[in-house]
Structure 1
Amino acid sequence: MVKRMSRSLVAVALLATMLPACQREQPGQATAPVQHPAAGDLPGEAVDVVLEDTIETDPRFIIGISYPQPARQYPGLAAELKRYSDAARGELMEAVADMGPDAAPAPYDLSLSYTMVVETPRIVAVAGDGSSYTGGAHGNPLVARFVWLPERDELLRPEELIPSAQGWAIVSDHVAEQLQAALSQRVDADDLDPAERAQVVRSAGKMIEEGTRPDPDNFRQFEPVLAPDGRIQSLRFVFPPYQVGPYADGVQEVEVPASVLLPHVAPGYRGLFAPP
């Protein structure tokens, strides 16, 4: 199943609505340039991380960051969220510094809101969505997903979940097929002339091919969809604008069922999944 969502560029009015941490009852409809840290990079002082909602205003920039209250009880997860936020803020402040003292007020802005997707004793998932504007026609979308395993006290990473190249080839083929089908439906709905249709399909198809190559880095953003028994019945892979389509196509999502994933999941994680 493929979902698509258009990005909302956040301005001052949205910052006021961000701070109450909202919680989604269903896994969301809705990479970032900021990457998750590599395995083993989590700081030893993670227990001391404090997640605080933030609003910063300045003639040159506006920053709004909000966190869901439940995430605060998982120190390792809190450290991951804080690290991602700090990296996004750092990139914005580098752009602010490059404005120079004589630059006209922009302002640049960073908006980042985290929401709970799943919270069970075995699986906790948080979605981070927002944008960072440092000039140009539109902001840079921020799309991140964090799947935390409380019993193991670790972040579920794609390269550890599916350790084989063969497994990623299967996932890649499944996702690319779904995205191509969704692309055809969108193009058909636009009622383009044959030549223009062929050009759009060729251009967007190349983006799908490149953005779904069988590399775990292309599938780093994902969230679990749970069966009634609390086990994972599918993974929803999330692709930011530009990865598998133009900016106008927004965030795109593809669900891959457990029946496709399980033969390739590492033995230590198979118990998280519902049987096919």
Structure 2
Amino acid sequence: MNRFGQGACALAVAVAIALAGCGKDEARGPAGADAQTPADAAPGEQAPAAAADAGLQDVIDTTPRYVVGISYPPAANAHPGLARALAEYAEHARAELLKAVDELGNDKPTAPYELSLAFDMVVDTPQVVAVAAEGSTYTGGAHGQPLVARFVWLPVQQRMLTVQALVDSSKGWQAVSEYVGDKLLEQAMVRAQSQEMTPEEQQDQVRNLSRMIAEGSAPEAANFAQFQPVMDAAGRIAALRFVFPPYQVGPYSDGTQTVDVPAAVVLPYVADDYRELFAGA
């Protein structure tokens, strides 16, 4: 089962309330959108940069065909570059949903298509700011598609921190891959042992998961693109929490998985520009 956190739960409640009270009202965009959206812009197509410059605003948009709920942390507005990245991510997800709605033509979905997306501030220090995005988009089928992303902003440098810039050597990713792969396999074995299966069935499940883990955590930067720092009491990075959406290293039923890699494992391979951010540097 996916775990979208308290922010996503609150967002779902807000969407439900909006649905209950919308009656015959027309779909609503972000609060104050009428004053900020150009007259020739179609509903739901406000430019991401304009939205970020005006300040991130929560979105509740309901129609008989779709529901959109997006929430932002107010503190992100203190960092315009970060705010712009969040707005662009949300707008892309919203555009994809509206595209799927358009493709219905005159048909009406059996259940409204839905986008639920919550951004939460998980780190907020003078040196490092991190935001977690969790949610899902539903366009038919048995369940929605998960949305999982992380944004790490460096206020002093005024730029986003990417894994490609953080660790730029194949040896570094080999070390991270080995550590993460071992931890994910341990977690898979614990889950298998907790289920009512025969030893043979457990072995088969672990064997299948080990193949997914090996592929999804192979030593390539792209496999570790979603990460957030874990800070110590002194405000330095004590570990990197790598985040793996459903399907990357396990089936949908396993949900989003994470592994914390200690600074001691990563630090030998961290680029010089970022070493001072880490504990033990």
Aligned partners of 1:49 and 1:82 also within 8 Å: no
Q: Secondary structure at the match of 2:68?
A: strand
Q: Which aligned pairs between 1:183-222 and structure 2 lie closer than 5 A?
A: 183-222=188-227
Q: Which aligned pairs between 1:105-144 and structure 2 lie closer than 5 A?
A: 105-144=110-149
User: What corresponds to 2:102 in structure 1?
Assistant: 97
Q: 1:66 pairs with 67, 71, 94, which one?
A: 71
Aligned partners of 2:11 and 2:118 also within 8 Å: no
Query: 2-side partners of 1:257 and 1:149: how far apart?
Result: 20
User: What corresponds to 2:2 in structure 1?
Assistant: 6
Aligned partners of 1:123 and 1:147 also within 8 Å: yes
Distance 1:113 1:210, change over 3 A: same
Query: 2-side partners of 1:15 and 1:191: how far apart?
Result: 34
Q: 1:234 pairs with 239, 246, 256, which one?
A: 239
Q: Which aligned pairs between 1:230-269 and structure 2 lie closer than 5 A?
A: 230-269=235-274
Q: Secondary structure at the match of 1:262?
A: helix
Q: Secondary structure at the match of 2:250?
A: coil
Aligned length: 249
Distance 1:51 1:231, change over 3 A: same
The letter for the 1-side match of 2:129 is V
Deviation track 1:25-61 (CA, whole Å, cap 9, x = no partner) reads xxxxxxxxxxxxxxxxxx9989735311111111110
Runs of 5+ in structure 2 lacking a partner?
A: 18-47
Aligned partners of 1:124 and 1:149 also within 8 Å: yes
Query: 2-side partners of 1:50 and 1:212: how far apart?
Result: 36
Q: CA deviation at 1:157?
A: 0.2
TM-score with structure 2 setting the length: 0.83
Distance 1:173 1:232, change over 3 A: same
Aligned partners of 2:15 and 2:60 also within 8 Å: no
Deviation track 1:160-204 (CA, whole Å, cap 9, x = no partner) reads 000011101110110000000111111111141133222211211
Aligned partners of 2:52 and 2:87 also within 8 Å: no
Q: Which aligned pairs between 1:162-177 and structure 2 lie closer than 5 A?
A: 162-177=167-182
User: What corresponds to 2:24 in structure 1?
Assistant: none
The letter for the 1-side match of 2:122 is V
Percent identity between the two aligned chains = 50
The letter for the 1-side match of 2:81 is G
Larger Rg: 2
Q: Secondary structure at the match of 2:194?
A: helix
Aligned partners of 1:130 and 1:142 also within 8 Å: yes
Query: 2-side partners of 1:204 and 1:124: how far apart?
Result: 33
Distance 1:8 1:50, change over 3 A: closer
Query: 2-side partners of 1:44 and 1:66: how far apart?
Result: 17
Q: CA deviation at 1:90?
A: 1.0
Q: Which aligned pairs between 1:38-49 and structure 2 lie closer than 5 A?
A: 48=53
Please, which moves more after superposition, 80-89 or 46-55?
Answer: 46-55
Higher-RCO chain (CA-CA 8 Å, sequence separation at least 6): 1
Query: 2-side partners of 1:18 and 1:79: how far apart?
Result: 28
Runs of 5+ in structure 1 lacking a partner?
A: 20-42
Q: Secondary structure at the match of 1:190?
A: coil
Query: 2-side partners of 1:7 and 1:229: how far apart?
Result: 29
